[in-house]
Amino acid sequence: MLIKKPDDVRSSEITPESVYRNRREFLRAAGFASVVSAAGLGASGCAEAEVRAASQLGPYDTDEEQTPYEAVTGYNNFYEFGTNKDEPARYAHTLRPRPWTVQVDGLVRDPKTWDLDDLLAGFTMEDRVYRMRCVEGWSMVIPWYGFAMADLVNKLEPLPSARYVRMETLVDEEQMPGQRRGFFGYTLDWPYVEGLRMDEARNPLTFMALGVYGREGPNQNGAPIRLVVPWKYGFKGVKSIVRISFVGDEPLNTWQQENSREYGFYANVNPDVDHPRWSQAREERIGELFSRDTLMFNGYAEHVAHMYEGMDLRQFY
């Protein structure tokens, strides 16, 4: 793993103390301090994590100010650990990210169950700084740690007839208390399922994340492996993946099954298509006082718009 140790970090990579402390004070005022405590993150741990972000921007990175570690790890959507944003940080300590296996099946040359560490062997790890937008209208800028999904697809060798990739999460009520019926007052039909078209899975932006801020974990961010698709709404980012299936037909994803009027398969960020219960034209960036305009494809149109040429994006939402 390409993780920098404290004595390897150049001074140019370190967030100025005044900036770091101002961020922390703002988040405390916004109510994040209790979340940090619940997640078991002390001040030194947050400071150490914050300096691990990539020092140089890559071709797909945003240069926008990154969301502080406390918010990235303390304000999450992960219904397997609760429906409130602070609950995943409180309850995800029950997840055991090792040992971990991933079943690979469907239209693939060699269906098998992989030990995760064997599956990851040979990949080059990197940091990708992506802006991420949630369907409820809030967003973050997160330095994800992991590798390109295209590398994983190539390693697994899907058959030419595979047109989609279907992924699902772990089902284990002991490790994921939010899967217990009625435990948090609302639950989904598990496992959580998501999917991509094959060209979307191979797009250079699509990312398999193992953690944030230059290291693996924490659990509440989808450990030990999750999907990141930065031009789509956050619910596409299936977490704690245990199965990857290559299929010929479009898979039915969890939120589409839950409420197809409000959630479609594609989930592309589009300010011109409102959610039935709220506008998607503006977003609230976590840590900022004022809202901002939502960008088409979340600002990544130059990399992804060609995949949807000729499609009615109001119909395929």
Determine the pLDDT at residue 181.
Answer: 81
Mean pLDDT for 29-53 is 43
Query: 261: exposed, middle or buried (C-beta count within 10 Å: 0-12, 13-18, 19+)?
Result: exposed
Q: Which of 4-18, 43-57, 157-171, 176-190 has the lowest mean pLDDT?
A: 4-18
How confident is the prediction for the chain on average, in pLDDT?
Answer: 86
Residue whose pair of structure tokens reads 């390109």 in the numeric block: 148
What is the band of 164 on the pLDDT scale with cuts at 50, 70, 90?
very high
Q: Which of 206, 213, 279, 199 is nearest to 237 (CA)?
A: 206
Span 127-156, average pLDDT? 97
Distance CA 131, CA 231 (A): 8
Report the first-to-last Cα separation within the chain, whole angstroms.
37
The residue written with tokens 């002991």 in the block is 174
**How many percent of the chain have pLDDT more than 70?**
81
pLDDT at 52: 43
- Please give the pLDDT value at position 55: 53
**Positions of E strands within 91-137:** 101-106, 112-115, 126-133
Give the C-alpha separation, 234 to 138, whole Å: 10
Question: What is the DSSP secondary structure assignment for residue 281, as one 8-state letter?
Answer: S
pLDDT exceeds cutoff 70 at 45: no
- Kindly give, in sequence order, each residue whose CB lies less than 8 Å from that of residue 47, ignoring residues fewer than 6 positions away: 15, 20
pLDDT band for 36, please (50, 70, 90 cuts).
Answer: very low
pLDDT in the model for residue 302: 97
State residue 94 phi and psi, 5-degree precision: -80, -15
Residue 185's pLDDT band (boundaries 50, 70, 90)? low
Q: What does each C-alpha distance from 185 to 36, 81, 279 come to in angstroms?
A: 24, 12, 26
In the Cβ-directed half-sphere of 126, how many Cα atoms lie within 13 Å? 18
Which pTM does this prediction carry? 0.84
Residues 217, 145: Cα–Cα separation, whole Å: 9
Q: How does residue 77 score in pLDDT terms, banded at 50, 70 and 90?
A: very high
pLDDT in tens, 192-219: 999 999 999 999 999 999 999 999 999 9
Query: Is residue 14 very low, low, confident or very high in pLDDT (cuts 50, 70, 90)?
Result: very low
Residue 49 — very low, low, confident or very high, per pLDDT cuts 50/70/90?
Answer: very low
What pLDDT does residue 165 have? 98
Q: Any idea how long the chain is?
A: 317
With 70 as the cut, is the pLDDT of residue 8 above it? no
Calculate the alpha carbon distances from 98 to 21, 26, 101, 225 in Å.
34, 35, 9, 11
pLDDT at 179: 93
Which CATH superfamily hosts domain 15-308?
A: Oxidoreductase, molybdopterin-binding domain (3.90.420.10)
Q: Is the pLDDT of residue 115 over 80?
A: yes
**297-317 mean pLDDT:** 96
Of the listed ranges 10-19, 70-79, 258-267, the least confidently predicted one is 10-19
Give tens-digit pLDDT for 244-258: 999 999 999 999 999
pLDDT value for 26: 40
Determine the pLDDT at residue 254. Answer: 97
Q: What is the mean pLDDT of residues 248-270?
A: 96
- Calculate the alpha carbon distances from 246 to 193, 270, 316 in Å: 13, 27, 21
